Amino acid sequence: MTFSVTKLAPVWVVEASLGQDPGPAYVLASRLGCLFRRVRMEMLALDSFLEERREPGLILTSGWRSGYAALKAGRRAGCPVVWCVRHEGRSAPMLRSLPFDLVVAPSPAAPTARFCPILGPMTIISPASLARAGKAWRERLEHLPHPRVTVLVGANAYRTQEEALLLGKKLADLVNRQGGSVLLVVRDDSRPELTDAFIIGISDTVLLVWRQGEPDEDPFLGFMACSDCVVVAGGDSAMLAEACVSDMPVYLMEREQDLRGIRGRVARRLVEDGHLRFLKDTLSPWPRLALDEAGRVAAILRSRWAL
């Protein structure tokens, strides 16, 4: 007989929030398809908190302090504890040695019973939320010609105004060859002179622009849902993962030799797995599957612990 832990207790999420973006434990919990509650680490130290509430059936956590507080609560409740790593950096042998029931982390290593590697950071964006955004934006963007190219610009996309201008002109040439349009989302506008140069470069195309600081919400999800391909410039590894949530072609507007650090390693794995290609002289599509690591891991948890 299948035993469901959620019939006895909810799923708990224990992690310190960092900025506006949800942590990996929250992202994973949102994909389980069951109710969950967020619990502050400080509350786990209170016996009264644990005694007055139903014991959890599963705890998802991230971060060192939150992780070990959750581990203690999990051992007391007799439930599994899953530790989620936000960014790559720790070695696979070290992650496998941790006392959690399962560790989920960006890593190129092979999976084991207690270690679940993922290609890149888990993102709150899902295929379902992308489909909803498409319905909300389709009519608003129907005047723009295809192929539509969503361009997502993050930090360190270009170093100089000349480079930004040349990249913009290159992209405009590729889009104009096919009579398409550009939907530009500038996530990092800390150097507006560079953004201005890039926009001047692509201004010969049919263009729709949203820049950081504008009153409207970030339209990236709606833009991407209504586009034919995505081009990414700069940003972090999480932004790369967001761009790969759809099954459309995703291009990286930078040179392979310029990839550095954690983001560079994640980008190379995405290229090797067929999710990314470097932008060269064409926007030709290729078949690829949507990247949904949070959904994949959630399916593993539901199967293992009968959620």
> What pLDDT was estimated at residue 51?
61
Sort 139 into a burial class: Cβ within 10 Å, 0-12 / 13-18 / 19+: exposed
Reference 34, options 53, 14, 73, 60; nearest CA is 60
pLDDT in tens, 104-143: 999 999 999 999 999 999 999 999 999 999 999 999 999 9
Higher-pLDDT residue of 139 and 7 is 139
The tokens for 252 are 């990286």
Position 209 pLDDT exceeds 90? yes
C-alpha 194/C-alpha 159 separation (Å) is 8
DSSP labels for 18-82?
-SSSPPHHHHHHTTSSS-EEE--HHHHT-HHHHHSSPPPSEEEEESHHHHHHHHHHHHHHT--EE
Q: What percent of the chain has pLDDT over 70?
A: 93
Mean pLDDT (whole number) for 170-198: 96
Q: What is the helix (H) or strand (E) element at residue 307, kind and residue range?
A: none
Peptide bond into 10 cis (omega under 30): no
pLDDT over threshold 90, residue 88: no
Under the banding of pLDDT at 50, 70 and 90, the label for residue 255 is confident
Q: Which two tokens stand for residue 222?
A: 């709606």
Task: Check residues 277 and 17 and name the one with the higher pLDDT.
Answer: 277
Grade residue 193 by pLDDT with cuts at 50, 70 and 90.
very high
Which residue shows structure tokens 């759809």? 246
- Which token pair is 88? 């790559």
Fold of 127-278: Rossmann fold (3.40.50)
Where along the chain do its domains lie?
A: 5-123+293-305, 127-278
Within this chain, domains 5-123+293-305 and 127-278 share the same CATH topology? yes
* pLDDT of residue 18 exceeding 80: no
pLDDT confidence of 90, banded at 50, 70, 90? confident
Angstrom distance (rounded) from CA 228 to CA 213:
26
Average confidence (pLDDT) over 208-232: 95
CA dist., res. 4 & res. 11, Å (int): 11
Taking Cα atoms as reference points, which of 288, 307, 291 lies closest to residue 299? 307
pTM above 0.85, yes or no: yes
Give the integer Cα–Cα distance in Å for 104 and 107. Answer: 9
The pLDDT, as a whole number, for residue 46 is 58
**Which residue, among 231, 244, 255, has the nearest Cα to 175 in the 3D structure?**
231
pLDDT tops 90 at residue 10: no
| pLDDT at residue 212 in the model | 93
Question: In the predicted model, is pLDDT for residue 5 greater than 70?
Answer: no
Q: Is residue 9's pLDDT more than 80?
A: no
Pull the structure tokens for residue 87.
């960014």
Burial class of residue 302 (count of CB atoms within 10 Å of its CB; 0-12, 13-18, 19+):
middle
Q: What is residue 150's three-state secondary structure? A: strand
Q: What is the pLDDT of residue 257?
A: 87
State the architecture of 5-123+293-305 in CATH terms.
Answer: 3-Layer(aba) Sandwich (3.40)
Query: What is the reported pLDDT for 131?
Result: 94
Tokens of 90: 């720790």
Please check the confidence at residue 33 and state whether its pLDDT lies above 60: yes
Query: Higher model confidence: residue 63 or residue 87?
Result: 63
The token pair that represents 303 in the structure block: 């199967």
Quick one: pLDDT at residue 48? 54
Q: Give the integer Cα–Cα distance in Å for 60 and 62.
A: 7
**Count of beta carbons in the 10 Å neighbourhood of residue 229:** 22
Residue 306 pLDDT level (bands cut at 50, 70, 90)? confident
pLDDT tens, residue by residue, 256-291: 888 989 999 999 999 999 999 999 999 998 999 999
33-37, 101-105, 224-228: least confidently modelled range: 33-37
